[in-house]
Amino acid sequence: MSAPQHTPTAQDAGLIGCTVCAKVWPRGTEFCGRCGEPLRSRDTRSLSRVWAYWIAGWFCYVPANLYPMLRTQMLQSDQASTIVGGAIDLYAHGAAGVALIVLVASVAIPIAKFVAIAYLAISVRRGWQTSGHRRMQLYEFVEFIGRWSMIDVFVVAILSALVQLSVVASIHPGPAALTFALSVVLTMMSARSFDSRMIWDSLEQDSAPEEASPADAPIPEGPSA
């Protein structure tokens, strides 16, 4: 028996798998009869949507770093700080750990996310043969980590609500809070538009070789209880 070339997919079998509930339908079925999700063997416009959200997200991310996120008014001072400026302030106050959290969540993660999504989209388009498993892990990581960039928006919300002490001290949100929140949402939508099944379609050989050839494996009676 030869090594497996390709794990049989629903597409190979002339079927469509539902991406929400995993149920399988004959090709041509429009909606999943179990969960109601529109069925597509492959989402052909997936990449266009990925790039549209990606570009929109980038357009929001740039001003988010240039404009102030917070305005702090104290008795004598009135100070506006950007994302990076806020992290530097934290570091100057001796809270290096928290400064690091802010930097990772609002600078490192968003930029890594932009790079990772672009890499995945290009790799699928060009049919690169990089390990499917590796790219799948990257995709799941992007999906998991994306939401955490909202930390800074929440910090601004909490501070603005809490620190309202008339003349002594008050904190107000800056314009960057809005554009930053938008950029997080848009990159989340970009990642969600990506159809991860395309990663595996472009591979000529699955990366996890197993001894027995799945295509020759017997089909037991499926206990569908």
Partner 1 sequence: MEDAALTPASVAGPPDTDDLIACPKCDALYVVHVPKSGERAVCTRCHHVLIAPKAGAVVRVATLSLTVLILLVGAAFFPFLEIRVQGFRNASSVFDAALAFSGPRMVGLSIAVAALIILIPMLRAILTLYVVTPIIADRTPFPGAARCFRLAEELRPWSMAEIFVIGVGVALVKVADLARIEFGPAFWMFGALVVLTVFQDVSMCRWTIWHELDSRARRAGIRLT
Q: Which of 58, 88, 148, 202 binds partner 1 (CB under 8 A)?
A: 148
Buried b (16+ CB within 10 A) or exposed e, 10-33: beeeeebbbbeeeeebeeeeeebe
Q: Residues near 172 by Cβ (< 8 Å), separated by ≥ 6?
A: 70, 71, 73, 160
Question: C-beta of 119: minimal distance to partner 1 in Å?
Answer: 18
* Rounded distance between C-alpha atoms, residue 197 and residue 42, angstroms: 7
Separation of first and last alpha carbons in the chain? 33
Question: C-beta of 20: minimal distance to partner 1 in Å?
Answer: 6
Q: Which of 62, 66, 111, 208 binds partner 1 (CB under 8 A)?
A: 208
Question: C-beta of 125: minimal distance to partner 1 in Å?
Answer: 18
Question: Interface with partner 1 includes 218 (CB under 8 A)?
Answer: yes
Amino acid at 191: A
Binding mask 55-94 for partner 1 (x = CB under 8 A): -------------------------------x---x--x-
**Contact at 8 Å (CB) between 65 and 54?**
no
Question: C-beta of 126: minimal distance to partner 1 in Å?
Answer: 19
User: Per CB under 8 A, which of residues 153..182 are in contact with partner 1?
Assistant: 153-166, 168-169, 173, 175, 177-178, 181
Residue 171: phi and psi, rounded to 5, are -125, 135
**Contact at 8 Å (CB) between 64 and 180?**
yes
Nearer to partner 1, 54 or 176 (CB): 176
Question: Interface with partner 1 includes 36 (CB under 8 A)?
Answer: yes
